Amino acid sequence: MRVGFVGLGIMGGPMAGHLVSAGMDVTVWNRSPGKAEPLAKAGAAVAGSLEDLAAACDAICLCVSRTEDVRGCVEAMAPHSKPGTLFIDHSTIAPSGAVAIATDLRLQGRRFVDAPITGGSMGALKGQLTIFCGGAEADVVEAIEVIKPYTKTAARVGPSGAGQQMKMANQIAVGGALLALCECLNYADKAGLDITQAHELIGGGAGGSWAFANYGAKILNRDWSPGFTIENQRKDFGYCREAAARIGAAIPGTDLVDRLLAGLQEQGHGEWTTAALFEAYQAR
């Protein structure tokens, strides 16, 4: 199978690299062509355009940013792709957008699986991502086989759009864990405790979490390099609010984290890692 990969950022670049390392026939494209150079050296073909990539591939993975970005890429590629082409979207977008894109592609004789990812940049580098798949059962089975080189866990969670709904639930949990970590260490600091010791002791007990294990060191070192940026986290929270409003779900904790991150973004720190939420607490 010839596999295309669109979007070679912090997540997409390593993911495409795992496909190449697995010996797959991979063609890549990125809006900034320079990001494709390491993959070309590793053996990937580089398409001159989205249209060229679509014509060359049987399955096409996307890892871009927003709903409109996915829609734009798919609209450019679909007319040039072969009937039956499988589009696998790893971006985090609105669940309603995923349903609409899947419907449009189905009417054109193409297939779509919304397959958003979680596991962070380290998960992408290690090929250890968790992937939530929404779509027809047979399409998801095929998609999981394609994306196996960068997958720790992948599962079908329902029809089109369900993958993104699961990602919304995931982001709500991520926001709450981040809030707990930053609030905890800020309290420990202002109580005069050794926050390195607090991180070690609390993280090893009932208060521990993925956030403690992966973001704690960044907070202790005041290292705000991404990782996952405040700008991207707030983009995802916007989709969470939209989806929650559609189903009548309350997400007050997510709203609080978003407001605190908004303050940092308004100060010009949108490219900082989300662990910089700690700074919002320190300033209070």
231: domain CATH number?
1.10.1040.10
Q: What is the pLDDT of residues 55-96, one digit of tens each?
A: 999 999 999 999 999 999 999 999 999 999 999 999 999 999
b/e burial code for range 49-87 (CB count within 10 A of at least 16 → b) = ebebbbbbbbbbbbbbebbebbeebbeebbeebeeebbb
Compute the mean pLDDT over every residue in the chain, rounded to the nearest whole number: 97
> Rounded to whole angstroms, how far apart are CA atoms 28 and 36?
7
CB atoms within 10 A of CB 210: 15
Residue 284 clears pLDDT 90, i.e. is over it: no
Statement to judge: residues 8 and 44 lie in one domain = yes
Statement to judge: residues 144 and 221 lie in one domain = no
b/e burial code for range 182-191 (CB count within 10 A of at least 16 → b) = bebbbebbee
Catalytic residue among 41, 167, 190, 218: 167
CB atoms within 10 A of CB 159: 15
Statement to judge: residues 131 and 17 lie in one domain = yes
Statement to judge: residues 147 and 170 lie in one domain = no
Residue 39 clears pLDDT 90, i.e. is over it: yes
Structurally, the chain folds into a number of domains equal to: 2
72 phi and psi angles, rounded to 5 deg: -60, -45
154: domain CATH number?
3.40.50.720
Report the DSSP beta bridge partners of residue 209: none
Arithmetic mean of pLDDT, 28-41: 96
Arithmetic mean of pLDDT, 117-145: 96
Statement to judge: residues 18 and 150 lie in one domain = yes
Statement to judge: residues 94 and 112 lie in one domain = yes
At which of 111, 133, 158 does a domain end? 158
At which of 158, 185, 218 does a domain end? 158
Asked if 230 and 261 touch (Cβ cutoff 8 Å), the reply is yes
- Find the domain containing 258 and state its range: 165-282
pTM of this prediction exceeds 0.85 = yes
- Return all residues near 34 (Cβ < 8 A) that are at least 6 apart: none
Asked if 70 and 6 touch (Cβ cutoff 8 Å), the reply is no
> Active site includes 167?
yes
Statement to judge: residues 149 and 179 lie in one domain = no
Statement to judge: residues 91 and 219 lie in one domain = no
Q: What is the pLDDT of residues 199-238, one digit of tens each?
A: 999 999 999 999 999 999 999 999 999 889 999 999 999 9
